Amino acid sequence: MDYNKYIDHTLLKAFATKEDILNLCNEAKEYNFKSVCVNPDFVSYAKELLKGSDVLVCTVIGFPLGANTTKVKVFEAHDAISNGADEIDMVINISKAKEHDYNYIYEEIKAVKNHISDHTLKVIIETCYLTEEEIKEVSLIVKKANANFVKTSTGFGTGGAKESDIKLIKSVVGDFDIKASGGIKTKEDFLKMIDAGATRIGTSNGKNLV
């Protein structure tokens, strides 16, 4: 199994520099990871660094709180694609999830997906703030809205990916892609997430994992 292709090699720190992104992309090429995940202002730079490789460029939208308006998230996504992003990781409006305004979440995901066409959309539901029932409801909405992945976490919340959350999401979405992200630092963590049903792993520790 090509475990390296599960990994979105991630650097989303506020203080990341161009040198840090250069190192990230060089590691991604060396280990042939699926993608690098960087903040939007580094998308065009990462795209240039990865030219000639099959490593994708992923970026984050509405990050990390998810509290931007739908119009802003759509603009962010459009701008990211224009700058060379291959994949978009978008945070839902978590307040709306807690209010059980699931139609709002559905319409927001649809709006972003419609504007990025065939590009991959991963939807971050931030499981640490949701009850089990809310996780199930929102995961089903992500699938219904024709996104490509349910993603567990930003890594900036009160908790990251948990094996139990992956299993819970898998139980309701079935044959649908799941990205586990946040706090995955050891080989044991990595393999547990895959065994539970994750098909992509977001981690800043990809080099050590492989």
Q: For residue 179, indicate whether it is catalytic.
A: yes
Q: For residue 89, indicate whether it is catalytic.
A: yes
Which member of 89, 162, 170, 189 is catalytic? 89
Q: For residue 185, indicate whether it is catalytic.
A: no
**pLDDT tens digits, 142-194:** 999 999 999 999 999 999 999 999 999 999 999 999 999 999 999 999 999 99
Question: Which domain CATH number covers 171?
Answer: 3.20.20.70
Q: Please tell me the predicted confidence (pLDDT) of residue 129.
A: 98
Confidence of residue 210 (pLDDT cuts 50, 70, 90): confident
| Complete DSSP assignment for the chain | --GGGGEEEEE--TT--HHHHHHHHHHHHHHT-SEEEE-GGGHHHHHHHTTTS--EEEEEESTTT--S-HHHHHHHHHHHHHTT-SEEEEE--HHHHHTT-HHHHHHHHHHHHHHHTTSEEEEE--GGGS-HHHHHHHHHHHHHTT-SEEE---SSSS----HHHHHHHHHHH-SSEEEEESS--SHHHHHHHHHHT-SEEEES-HHHH-
- The number of distinct structural domains making up the chain is 1
**pLDDT tens digits, 22-58:** 999 999 999 999 999 999 999 999 999 999 999 999 9
Q: Please tell me the predicted confidence (pLDDT) of residue 1.
A: 74
Which member of 47, 162, 170, 179 is catalytic? 179
Percent pLDDT > 90 in the chain is 98
Confidence of residue 85 (pLDDT cuts 50, 70, 90): very high
Q: Please tell me the predicted confidence (pLDDT) of residue 130.
A: 98
Which member of 73, 143, 151, 162 is catalytic? 151
Which residue range is the domain that position 205 belongs to? 3-209
Q: Please tell me the predicted confidence (pLDDT) of residue 102.
A: 98
